[in-house]
Amino acid sequence: MDKQLNLLYFTATDSTAKVVKEVASGINEKFKEYNITLPLNREKELVFSSEDLVVIGVPVYGGRVPEFLVNYFGKIKGNNTPAIFIVVYGNRDYEDALLELKNTFEENGFIGIAGASFIGEHSYTTELGTHRPDKGDLEIAKSFGEKILEKLNNTEATLKETQLVVKGNLHYKERKSAMGPMAPETNEDCINCGVCANYCPMSAINFNDYSDIDIAKCIKCCSCIKRCPVNAKSFNDEMFKIFTQRLIDNFSSTRKEPELFLCNLF
């Protein structure tokens, strides 16, 4: 394969990054990385050519592509650029997220050649999708990448004739938050290390007071909670606890598995 491999992903608690990198490792050891998790990395316009191959990954939020990313995706242009779409969800469901990701990028000049949904530990709890993606998931991710590489090397057809069909409903699930605005609280164990503020994808945490969080900016991604070295951050809102318990009760007993989709040329 003579294309430049690129990874473009958002990841708040690292599961999307793990999957995307593993898919890429099945294609080529060398790649360019565009980690668009921090706001500073979501400003520049990006343009890819037909000589590029881009693996694009996002976590699923409410069965959709995270809303705050959609505007930025308008600034990322392809030029008949082949792309692989990956969504990672917390063992509930990914609903229309993969179709939405594919459509968004195909409207911007990308050509979908493959897509997949994978499972990551749920942002809200360690009791749903615990420790995923695990070894089995990552093996599937790597062999998916290898299969795409093999198909790309063997296909004679031009990518312009490509059609990729993935699961999802064209009338995307309505975006509605099951919980109102809220932000994590910080307890007295905080050692003021600054990790939470440095990693917050929305710059919602005050660098002069790590317990001061802008509720209007917080997207409940749980990066600050999962990264805090002393477990000083948590959502204590009653609605959050009820919602999370309901997720655990309804979705923790069945292990969901990755779903893979290849285009018609493969």
Ligand X SMILES: Cc1cc2nc3c(=O)[nH]c(=O)nc-3n(C[C@H](O)[C@H](O)[C@H](O)COP(=O)(O)O)c2cc1C
Q: Which residues bind ligand X (CB under 6 A)?
A: 11-16, 59-63, 88-93, 120-123, 220-222
192 contact, one of ligand X, ligand SF4, none, CB 5-8 Å limit per kind: ligand SF4
Non-local CB neighbours of 131 within 8 Å, separated by 6+ positions: 121
Using DSSP's 3-state secondary structure scheme, residue 53 falls into strand
> Which C-beta is closer to ligand SF4: that of 58 or that of 219?
219
User: Where do contacts with ligand SF4 occur on this chain (CB under 6 A)?
Assistant: 183-184, 186, 190-196, 200-202, 204-205, 210, 213, 218-224, 228, 230, 232-233
* Nearest approach, Cβ of residue 38 and ligand SF4 (Å): 11
Q: How far apart are the C-alpha atoms of 165 and 232, rounded to whole Å?
A: 44
194 contact, one of ligand SF4, ligand X, none, CB 5-8 Å limit per kind: ligand SF4
62 contact, one of ligand X, ligand SF4, none, CB 5-8 Å limit per kind: ligand X
Q: Which of 124, 235, 237, 233 is nearest to 189 (CA)?
A: 233
Residue 68 has, within 13 A of its CA and on its CB side, a CA count of 17
Q: How far apart are the C-alpha atoms of 79 and 132, rounded to whole Å?
A: 34
21 contact, one of ligand SF4, ligand X, none, CB 5-8 Å limit per kind: none
* Nearest approach, Cβ of residue 57 and ligand SF4 (Å): 18
**Tokens at 266, concatenated:** 């493969």
> Which C-beta is closer to ligand X: that of 72 or that of 266?
72
> Which C-beta is closer to ligand X: that of 59 or that of 112?
59
91 contact, one of ligand X, ligand SF4, none, CB 5-8 Å limit per kind: ligand X
> Which C-beta is closer to ligand X: that of 113 or that of 218?
218
Q: Which of 68, 62, 45 is nearest to 203 (CA)?
A: 68
For CA atoms 67, 71, 75, 81, the dihedral sign is: positive
> Which C-beta is closer to ligand X: that of 23 or that of 152?
23
Q: Exposure of 149 by Cβ count < 10 A (0-12 exposed, 13-18 middle, 19+ buried)?
A: middle
